[in-house]
């Protein structure tokens, strides 16, 4: 698992942002791009830099699905919850993956190899139902083919 960055490192990273709410998202995006996640310490540092409250920063992190409060798993699996995927058996895909990994949505396996979360429709509905593994579309799935993907990732290491 990735180590938490130091406070000084975080301060230097967001030093360019001036106080004001207009810089909340740019500061969060910079932290996310740098570390792949938003460490809890970054919430305090950004709040102090922008002269606002940690609650406001935390609210932005938890409101926008692009931000994460933990390091990403080696394989981040986004399950599409869009209408086309749901109509074509997406719930069964999610259930198969959860069963295969032994985790729920917004959880990671204990070894941090797999993470599962909800993904919003990306417009590739012709491949429904689908998941994205580290951003790569894996579509036209059945519960068994979804399990096969997980098994091949697990066995491929």
What domains lie within the chain, and their CATH numbers?
Answer: 7-63 (1.10.10.1590), 75-155 (3.40.30.10)
pLDDT band at residue 134 using 50, 70 and 90 as cut-offs: very high
Structure tokens at 93: 């895909």
125 annotated binding-site participant = yes
Q: Name residues whose C-beta falls within 8 Å of residue 49's C-beta, 6 or more positions apart in sequence.
A: 11, 14, 15, 17, 19, 27
Express each pLDDT in 117-130 by its tens digit: 999 889 999 999 99
121 annotated binding-site participant = yes
Q: Measure the CA–CA gap between 97 and 141, rounded to whole angstroms.
A: 11
Nearest one of 35, 36, 134 to 78, comparing CA atoms: 134
End-to-end CA distance of the chain: give it in Å, rounded: 17
85 annotated binding-site participant = yes
Residue 76, strand partner residues:
115
Express each pLDDT in 4-47 by its tens digit: 889 999 999 999 999 987 999 999 999 999 999 999 999 999 99
Nearest one of 53, 21, 51, 27 to 39, comparing CA atoms: 27
Share of the chain above pLDDT 70, in %: 97
């Amino acid at each position: 698992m990735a180590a938490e960055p130091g406070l000084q490192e975080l301060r230097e990273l967001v030093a360019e942002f001036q106080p004001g709410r207009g810089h909340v998202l740019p500061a969060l995006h910079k932290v996310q791009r740098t570390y792949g996640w938003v460490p809890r310490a970054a919430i305090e540092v950004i709040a102090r830099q922008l002269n606002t409250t940690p609650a406001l920063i935390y609210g932005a992190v938890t409101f926008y699905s692009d931000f994460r409060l933990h390091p990403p798993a080696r394989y981040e699996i986004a399950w599409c919850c869009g209408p086309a995927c749901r109509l074509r058996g997406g719930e069964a895909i999610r259930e198969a993956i959860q069963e295969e990994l032994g985790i729920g949505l917004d959880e990671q396996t204990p070894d941090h190899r797999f993470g599962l979360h909800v993904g919003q429709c990306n417009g590739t509905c012709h491949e429904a139902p689908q998941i994205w593994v580290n951003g790569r579309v894996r579509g036209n799935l059945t519960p068994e083919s979804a399990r096969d993907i997980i098994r091949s990732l697990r066995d491929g290491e």
